[in-house]
Amino acid sequence: MRLLATRLSSGWTVVALIAAALVAVWLPDLGLPLGNSDDGRILGMFGLQARNFWDLGAVDSYFGAVVEPYVNPVYDVAPRADPPPVAVRYAHHPPLQVLMAVVSTALLGDSTAALRVPGLLMGAATVVFMASLLRSRDLAWGPTLLAVAAMASTGFYYVYGRISVSFSLLLAGIAAVSWAMRRDNPRGRDTLVVAGLAALAAMQSWIGIAAMVLVTLWLFAVGRGDGGETPSDGSQQSVGAAVAAPQRRLRVQWLSWRRLSGRRQRLLAAVAAGTALGAGVTALWMLNGAGVEDLANQVAIRTSNQRGGADGSLGFTFGEFLARQWRFANEEMLVPVWLRVLLLPCLLAGLIDRRTRVPAAITLSVAAALTFGVQQGAWVHRLWNFPWLAPVTIGFAALADWIRRSFPRRWRPLPAVVAAVVIAGTLVAVVGGSTRERYITDPAAAGTVLEQVGDLPGSDLAWSVPPVTSATWVSYHLRMRVMRLDEDNLGDLDASDVVVLRADRVPDFFPEGALSDPLAAHDDFLIISASRLLPR
């Protein structure tokens, strides 16, 4: 009985409760239709890929790369022309999430709930992975729990943690390596877990590949023994001690296999092999699905400074870019005020504390590379700044531990309770406030309109009017091609076509009465027959 009570009161029980709380606040949105948001854009693409995988078969769908009837607007295909094969395939990212969507729809059916389940589970698991990483670096349970709770309470995590946690498996991989390095003689099972997580991280995201490469370099760099890098007991320095005490100069021995201990050799081989396997699968999938030319075009777009990507529009300056990223962070509690204040201290704390220095540096490097290296993507999508939450959370734990140690032992619970109340209040404000409305429920109203009309016999082309964008979700719901409508292509309309738009953003070129008698309407979104726009 005492053993059971001890287990129930352990830190891992609290971690499980935090993960369960996240699932609980996400579950009400499980069956929402896909709408005019990042949720709709991303899951709509996964839904099309999974649907085509099962409809066409693995080979004909290019193993989940085909996205018909959606046509990539980059290729400027005429409305009723046959698109080139590359215009109806999407393979610009590692394939793990596509494969998860394929499996989920096979088990749960072709539904929006099936598309959301993998992301929801991965988002909850990321809480566990982060806690495991912090514990593997000898952070106490108090700072660890506050850090993962702080991460989970942000609007960023509430909105995007359910869709695509691109840093999830890289955290798991770094944690597995850290735990294995604590053993004098890692077991074969340990190295298999490390290799498997490295492979999965490399198949999950670009930053997963980059992070595993950095982990490989880390294992090379530390040379023989631990070199003071890996904590093995509770005596490691806190942030304050790391600043005050002189740092012992570590001798770094680069790329010398014979100088590595047997333990490091096995771990290094496991990480390198797993990363190579995952990156190899990713490369084969992308080259098969997209091809070299399409991938090169995508790289050119994402590394440019064009506001709209490939349309040659006016470029943005670096100052405008930074201002836009900060504006994203200030929107609707994506990053709460208290975390914005602690942003720089957390990053510095994570890099200074010897326990967290390596994981903080790795996660910060890949997050910065994603934001600044492929800046056009970060200009367009808020989601591209999501990985910054990883190094900030790691640094938050280090900073919390420093603050904890600065208090007399009997007073230490006081700041922890205050922090816990602020974090809990933040989550309540995020879930019950305007964050959910702006990013989740309001955009889903557009999907509700499409679900209302259901099948449209005789229609094979839909048109969208800005700000209805990222039309993968329209293709997913209506099962037809979607084109962007403007005044220049009104002549391409056919009476059988349909138009999706917002009632409060009607273009000037629409004739009077065009919105009367819509096919469906919900909140501000409408779907009308294109015949309402044709001359009578």
* pLDDT, tens only, 99-111: 999 999 999 999 9
Residue 176 lies in a domain: yes
All residues at 6 or more sequence positions from 50 whose CB lies less than 8 Å from its CB, including other chains: 64, 98, 101, 102, 104, 105, 110, 115
Q: Are 83 and 164 in the same domain? A: no
Least confident window among 64-73, 234-243, 379-388: 234-243
Return the pLDDT at 229: 57
Nearest-angstrom CA–CA distance, 527 and 531: 12
Residue 243 has pLDDT above 50, yes or no: no
Are 241 and 392 spatial neighbours (Cβ–Cβ below 8 Å)?
A: no
Residue 412 lies in a domain: no
Return the pLDDT at 234: 44
Residue 257 has pLDDT above 80, yes or no: no
Of 406, 421, 452, the domain-final residue: 406
Q: Are 350 and 497 in the same domain? A: no
* pTM: predicted TM-score of the whole model, two decimal places: 0.90
Strand pairing partners for 463? 483, 499
The tokens describing 186, both together, are 């890692």
- Side by side, the strands of the sheet bearing 498-502 are 481-484, 461-464, 498-502, 525-529, 520-522
Residue 137 has pLDDT above 90, yes or no: yes
Residue 530 has pLDDT above 70, yes or no: yes
Q: Stretch 84-92: mean pLDDT, rounded?
A: 94
Q: Are 373 and 509 in the same domain? A: no
Residue 307 has pLDDT above 60, yes or no: yes
Nearest-angstrom CA–CA distance, 42 and 159: 13
Mean pLDDT (the chain) is: 88
Closest CA to 134 of 121, 158, 111, 151: 151
Q: Are 343 and 326 in the same domain? A: yes
Element (H, E) at 521: strand 520-522
Q: State in Å, rounded, how far the first CA of the chain is from the last one.
A: 81
The tokens describing 357, both together, are 């220095």
Residue 420 lies in a domain: no
Q: Stretch 299-306: mean pLDDT, rounded?
A: 84
Are 171 and 133 spatial neighbours (Cβ–Cβ below 8 Å)?
A: yes
Return the pLDDT at 460: 87
Return the pLDDT at 227: 42
For strands 498-502 and 520-522, give the pairing.
unpaired
Least confident window among 25-29, 121-125, 227-231, 463-467: 227-231
Q: Are 385 and 443 in the same domain? A: no
User: Which residue is it, tokens 């890996």?
Assistant: 230
pLDDT, greater one: 198 or 256: 198
Return the pLDDT at 258: 53
For strands 461-464 and 498-502, give the pairing.
parallel
Return the pLDDT at 331: 82
pLDDT, greater one: 402 or 221: 402
The tokens describing 487, both together, are 């005044």
Of 388, 406, 424, the domain-final residue: 406
Of 367, 390, 406, the domain-final residue: 406
Q: Stretch 220-230: mean pLDDT, rounded?
A: 58
Residue 429 lies in a domain: no
Q: Are 173 and 302 in the same domain? A: yes
Q: Stretch 190-219: mean pLDDT, rounded?
A: 96
Kindly indicate the confidence band of residue 250, based on its pLDDT and cuts at 50, 70 and 90: very low
The tokens describing 297, both together, are 């075009």
Q: Are 44 and 61 in the same domain? A: yes
Length of the chain: 536
All residues at 6 or more sequence positions from 351 whose CB lies less than 8 Å from its CB, including other chains: 357, 360, 361, 364, 395
Return the pLDDT at 81: 92
Total number of domains constituting the chain = 2
HSE-CB at 216 with a 13 A cutoff on CA atoms is 20
Return the pLDDT at 251: 47
Looking at mean pLDDT, say which of 180-189, 195-204, 308-317 comes out highest.
195-204
Nearest-angstrom CA–CA distance, 65 and 45: 10
The tokens describing 395, both together, are 């640094």
Q: Are 264 and 390 in the same domain? A: yes
Kindly indicate the confidence band of residue 238, based on its pLDDT and cuts at 50, 70 and 90: very low
Nearest-angstrom CA–CA distance, 288 and 58: 12
Tell me how many degrees the CA angle 42-160-162 measures, rounded to the nearest 5: 85
Residue 428 lies in a domain: no
pLDDT tens column, 21-69: 999 999 999 999 999 899 999 999 999 999 999 999 999 999 999 999 9
Closest CA to 240 of 413, 364, 398: 398
Q: Are 141 and 172 in the same domain? A: yes
Q: Are 363 and 273 in the same domain? A: yes
Nearest-angstrom CA–CA distance, 513 and 532: 8
Q: Are 191 and 52 in the same domain? A: no
CA dihedral 450, 456, 462, 465 (to 10 degrees): -40
Q: Are 15 and 160 in the same domain? A: yes
Closest CA to 226 of 187, 190, 181: 181
The tokens describing 178, both together, are 């850290």
Residue 416 lies in a domain: no
Kindly indicate the confidence band of residue 524, based on its pLDDT and cuts at 50, 70 and 90: confident
All residues at 6 or more sequence positions from 226 whose CB lies less than 8 Å from its CB, including other chains: 181, 232
pLDDT tens column, 341-350: 999 999 999 9
Query: What is the percent of the chain where pLDDT is above 70?
Result: 89
The tokens describing 23, both together, are 């699932």
Kindly indicate the confidence band of residue 223, based on its pLDDT and cuts at 50, 70 and 90: low
Domain that holds residue 334: 2-30+91-406
Amino acid at the residue 510: F
Nearest-angstrom CA–CA distance, 128 and 360: 17
pLDDT tens column, 381-397: 888 899 999 999 999 99
Give the 3-state DSSP-derived string for 179-218, with helices as H, strands as E and coil as C.
HHHCCCCCCHHHHHHHHHHHHHHHHHCHHHHHHHHHHHHH
Residue 423 lies in a domain: no
Residue 525 lies in a domain: yes
CA distance to 149, 183, 340, 399, 400, per residue, from 337 (Å): 16, 41, 5, 17, 17
HSE-CB at 338 with a 13 A cutoff on CA atoms is 15
